A = this chain, B = another copy of it.
Amino acid sequence: MREVSIIGVGQTPVGEHWQRSLRELGVEAVRAALADAGLERPQALFVGNMMSGVLNHQENLATLIADFAGFPGIEALKIEAACASGGAVVRAAQLAVASGACDIAVAVGLEKMTDLPIDIVTEGLATAADADFEAAHGITFTALNALLMRLYMERYGYQRADFAPFVVHAHENAINNPHAMFRGRVTVEDFLESAMVADPISILDSSPVSDGAAAVVLCPSEQARAFTDRPIRILASATATDTIGLATRRDPLRFEACYASAHRACQQANLRPEDIDLAELHDAFTIVSALSLEAACFAEPGQGVRFAQECNISLNGKLPMSTQGGLKARGHPVGASGTYQIVEAVNQLRGRGGANQVKNCEIALTQSVGGMASVAVTHILGV
Residues in A lying within 8 Å of B, measured CB to CB? 1-2, 21, 23, 44, 50-54, 56-64, 66-67, 72-82, 88, 91-92, 95-96, 98-101, 123-124, 126-132, 135, 238-245, 256-257, 260, 370-371, 374-375
A sample of 27 inter-chain contacts (CB < 8 A) reads: A2-B99, A52-B127, A53-B124, A54-B59, A56-B131, A57-B127, A57-B131, A59-B80, A59-B128, A60-B244, A62-B81, A62-B375, A63-B81, A63-B242, A72-B256, A73-B241, A73-B256, A74-B240, A76-B81, A76-B239, A76-B241, A76-B375, A77-B81, A77-B88, A78-B81, A79-B80, A98-B99
Docked CA distance A100–B96 (Å): 11
B130 near A75 with CB under 8 A, answer no
Complex-state Cα separation, A81 to B44, whole angstroms: 14
The 9 closest A-B pairs by CB, nearest first: A99-B99, A1-B100, A60-B82, A98-B99, A75-B239, A59-B127, A58-B131, A78-B80, A60-B128
For A245, give the chain B residue with the smallest CB separation: B67
Q: Is the CB of B240 within 8 A of A75?
A: yes
Q: How far is the CA of A236 from the CA of B58 in the complex (A)?
A: 29
CB within 8 Å for A59 and B51 given contacts A78-B79, A101-B95, A243-B72: yes
| Chain A contact residues, majority secondary structure | mixed
Residues in B with CB closer than 8 Å to A74 are 240-241
Min CB distance A367 to B, Å, is 14
Question: Chain B contacts of A91 at CB under 8 A?
Answer: 77
Shortest beta-carbon distance from A43 to chain B in Å: 11
Q: Report the separation of the CA atoms of residues A66 and B128 in the bound assembly, to the nearest whole angstrom.
A: 14
Measured CA separation A35–B141 after assembly (Å): 36
Given known pairs A60-B128, A127-B58, A132-B21, the reply for A99 and B66 (CB within 8 Å) is: no
The reply to whether B370 and A60 form a contact with Cβ atoms under 8 Å apart is: yes
**Which residues of the partner chain B approach A127 to less than 8 Å between Cβ atoms?**
52-53, 57-60
B residues within 8 A CB of A260? 73
Which chain B residues lie closer than 8 Å to A72 at the CB level?
Answer: 241-243, 256
- Assess the A63–B95 pair: CB atoms within 8 A: no
A155 to chain B, nearest CB (A): 23
Contacts of A99 in B (CB 8 A): 1-2, 95-96, 98-100
Cα-based distance from A241 to B61 in the complex (angstroms): 11
Q: How far is the CA of A66 from the CA of B374 in the complex (A)?
A: 11
* Residues on B with beta carbons closer than 8 Å to the beta carbon of A100: 1, 98-99
Contact A63 B98 (CB under 8 A): no
Q: Check A82 against B59 for contact (C-beta < 8 Å).
A: yes
**Residues from chain B with Cβ under 8 Å of A92 in the complex:** 77, 79, 92, 95
Known: A53-B53, A53-B54, A95-B95. 16 other contacts (CB 8 A): A1-B101, A2-B99, A44-B239, A57-B123, A57-B126, A57-B127, A60-B129, A60-B375, A64-B130, A67-B243, A67-B245, A72-B243, A74-B241, A78-B81, A92-B92, A98-B100
Tell me the bound Cα distance from A127 to B59 in angstroms: 5
Structural contact, B63 and A370, CB atoms closer than 8 A: yes
Contacts of A44 in B (CB 8 A): 239
Given contacts A240-B75, A242-B72, contact A53 B56 (CB under 8 A): no
